[in-house]
């Protein structure tokens, strides 16, 4: 007898509403739902491997299909329990496991709609008061050039991945500025290009090449302002570009300093082995200098007294750790890409505006300051074995947050998530994952009931087997 014949027999002689009601609470539907959820989840993992976690969540795990199937699951579970009413003792495991699933789903829904899941990055000594969320927004500011002030004019949450420009219209009229978002790329690779300028406020830029039989690097060194110091560790040597003063503290270092009102660069070469300065001089773009250690040659390629770095976006099909999402906006018949967490200055006939695309930030309602970051390493290596942050909360409480020891304060929980470090491996900032989850106790209760229910179903059935008819 085939499956379909069996099904036909089971539904024989029933009216349509009865049939539908029976099917809604049936095991056939349950099997179908279980398989559908599995298939969607499986597709999600492949999408994730290719396009990253955020993409997979928005496009697969939180897709309308998934919600539809989960909706069916809720109906199926309720109807299956209603069907068995009044419940007998032997139904204990069944009811517990299935109610557990409903409670778990309810908890998940609470988390999704009322929970907060964000992050907070603090440099050592820095104070923070906002959580950065994954959700994005666009905002417009009017720019007061004289006082260097910005006034918020409009802020709008956007989710271009789920509601992409094209099918959805994004047109903004702010005072005399009209702007349209015309395209969105989830994976854009910013490529920074150095552009020569004439603004006195822009810092200098230098491009050098280091070459030996073992390696060959060429790098731009750009100072955002004339007073900044830029350090770049390339492994064999550290490059330092500055406009003020530099004190050598060890290591193989190449130091460059522009000579004002000329195209010349002063250079100093320090060697770790020789314990100090080995060579110094003045060079012009195009010059080549032998460094004296190993067979390394130093070449000066370009030098601009004033320059700035501009990002250009290369749209990729798949993410890499260096890609960000980017939108394309149209302003005055010109189209430009703008990466997330960056801004563009726009000029109308009357005024100048700032247009920004960034992650939403939520005020915590209190301040948190990173006092100290401590890291233990595995012996004789750079590998972190454990790390912890000492923070000052609300200006009063000194607390240590470490892996698996979160801080709970005013409904928020702060978890030690990761850290960033400079080129020498010294930590510079600590990253916390911050969240608020009203669904937590409910999810835990649901989980507990599910496991308890399954165990009862499998292993305690025989204690109340009496009066059992169906299989």
User: Where along the sequence are the contacts to another protein (CB under 8 A)?
Assistant: 3, 6, 26-28, 30-31, 34-35, 37-38, 41-42, 44-46, 48-50, 53, 56-57, 61, 108, 111, 117, 213-216, 320-322, 377-381, 383-387, 403-404, 406, 413, 415, 417, 433-435, 437, 439-440, 443-444, 447, 450-451, 454-455, 458-459, 471
Task: List the Cα angle 305/199/142 in 5-degree steps.
Answer: 145
Q: How far apart are CA 246 and CA 229, in angstroms?
A: 9
State in angstroms the smallest separation of the CB of 390 from another protein.
17
State in angstroms the smallest separation of the CB of 395 from another protein.
24
State in angstroms the smallest separation of the CB of 305 from another protein.
29
Bridge partners (DSSP) of residue 171 are 180
Quote the longest CA-to-CA distance of the chain.
100
Helix H or strand E segment including 454: helix 440-459
User: Which residue, 330 or 447, is less far from another protein as judged by CB?
Assistant: 447
Spell out the alpha helix ranges (H) of 314-356. Answer: none
CB 160 within 8 A of CB 185: no
User: Which residue, 211 or 309, is less far from another protein as judged by CB?
Assistant: 211
Question: What are the DSSP calls for 187-241, one per residue?
Answer: EEEEEEEEEE---TTSPPEEEEEEE-SS-EEEEEEE-SSTT-EEEEE-SS-EEEE
State in angstroms the smallest separation of the CB of 111 from another protein.
7
CB 180 within 8 A of CB 330: yes
Report the candidate in 220, 193, 196, 222 with the shortest Cα–Cα distance to residue 209.
220
State in angstroms the smallest separation of the CB of 26 from another protein.
8
User: Which residue, 58 or 358, is less far from another protein as judged by CB?
Assistant: 58
User: Which residue, 96 or 346, is less far from another protein as judged by CB?
Assistant: 96
Q: How far apart are CA 226 and CA 94, in angstroms?
A: 72
Taken in order 74, 75, 78, 79, the sign of the CA dihedral is negative
Mode of pairing for the β-strands spanning 297-304 and 288-290: antiparallel
Residues near 136 by Cβ (< 8 Å), separated by ≥ 6? 157, 158, 159, 160, 325, 340, 357, 358, 359, 360
State in angstroms the smallest separation of the CB of 39 from another protein.
9
State in angstroms the smallest separation of the CB of 213 from another protein.
7
User: Which residue, 358 or 440, is less far from another protein as judged by CB?
Assistant: 440
User: Which residue, 324 or 433, is less far from another protein as judged by CB?
Assistant: 433
State in angstroms the smallest separation of the CB of 384 from another protein.
5
User: Which residue, 64 or 167, is less far from another protein as judged by CB?
Assistant: 64
State in angstroms the smallest separation of the CB of 12 from another protein.
16
Mode of pairing for the β-strands spanning 334-339 and 205-211: unpaired
Report the candidate in 231, 219, 223, 221 with the shortest Cα–Cα distance to residue 202.
223
Residues near 93 by Cβ (< 8 Å), separated by ≥ 6? 453, 454, 455, 456, 457, 458, 460, 461
User: Which residue, 255 or 434, is less far from another protein as judged by CB?
Assistant: 434
User: Which residue, 20 or 53, is less far from another protein as judged by CB?
Assistant: 53
User: Which residue, 150 or 464, is less far from another protein as judged by CB?
Assistant: 464
State in angstroms the smallest separation of the CB of 13 from another protein.
19
Q: How far apart are CA 323 and CA 281, in angstroms?
A: 40
């Amino acid at each position: 007898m085939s499956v379909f014949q069996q099904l036909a027999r089971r539904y024989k002689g029933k009216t349509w509403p009865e049939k539908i009601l029976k099917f809604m609470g049936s095991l056939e539907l349950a099997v179908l739902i279980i398989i559908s959820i599995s298939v969607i989840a499986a597709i999600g993992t492949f999408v994730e491997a290719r396009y990253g976690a955020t993409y997979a969540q928005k496009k697969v795990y939180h897709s309308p299909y998934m919600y539809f199937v989960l909706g069916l699951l809720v109906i199926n579970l309720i109807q299956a329990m209603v069907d068995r009413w009044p419940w007998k003792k032997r139904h204990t495991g069944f009811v517990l496991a299935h109610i557990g699933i409903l409670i778990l789903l309810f908890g998940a829904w609470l988390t999704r709609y009322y929970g907060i899941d964000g992050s907070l990055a603090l440099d050592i000594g820095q104070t923070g008061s906002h959580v950065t969320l994954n959700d994005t927004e666009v905002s417009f500011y009017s720019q007061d050039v004289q006082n260097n002030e910005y006034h918020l004019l409009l802020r709008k949450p956007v989710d271009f991945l789920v509601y992409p420009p094209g099918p959805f219209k994004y047109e903004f009229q702010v005072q005399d500025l009209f702007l349209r978002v015309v395209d969105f790329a989830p994976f854009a690779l910013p490529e920074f290009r150095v552009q020569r300028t004439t603004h006195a406020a822009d810092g200098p830029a230098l491009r050098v090449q280091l070459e030996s039989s073992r390696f060959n690097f060429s790098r731009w060194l750009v100072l955002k302002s004339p007073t900044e110091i830029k350090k770049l560790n390339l492994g064999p040597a550290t490059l330092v570009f500055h406009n003020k003063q530099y004190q050598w503290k060890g290591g193989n270092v190449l130091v460059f300093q522009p000579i004002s009102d000329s195209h010349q660069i002063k250079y100093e070469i320090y060697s770790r082995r020789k314990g100090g300065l080995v060579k110094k001089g003045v060079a012009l773009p195009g010059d080549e200098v032998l460094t004296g250690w190993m067979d390394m040659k130093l070449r000066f390629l370009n030098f601009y007294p004033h320059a700035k770095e501009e990002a250009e976006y290369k749209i990729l099909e798949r993410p890499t750790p260096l890609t960000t999402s980017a939108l394309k906006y149209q302003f005055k018949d010109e189209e430009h890409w703008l990466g997330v967490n960056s801004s563009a200055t726009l000029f109308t006939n009357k005024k100048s505006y700032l247009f920004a695309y960034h992650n939403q930030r939520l005020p915590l309602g209190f301040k948190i300051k990173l006092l100290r970051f401590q890291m233990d390493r595995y012996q004789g290596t750079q590998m972190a074995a454990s790390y912890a942050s000492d923070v000052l909360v609300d200006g009063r409480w000194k607390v240590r947050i470490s892996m698996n020891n979160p801080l709970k304060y005013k409904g928020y929980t702060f978890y030690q998530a990761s850290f960033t470090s400079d080129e020498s491996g010294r930590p510079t900032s600590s990253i916390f994952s911050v969240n608020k989850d009203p669904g937590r106790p409910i999810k835990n209760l649901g989980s507990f009931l599910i496991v308890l229910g399954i165990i009862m179903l499998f292993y305690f059935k025989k204690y109340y087997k009496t009066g059992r008819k169906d299989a």
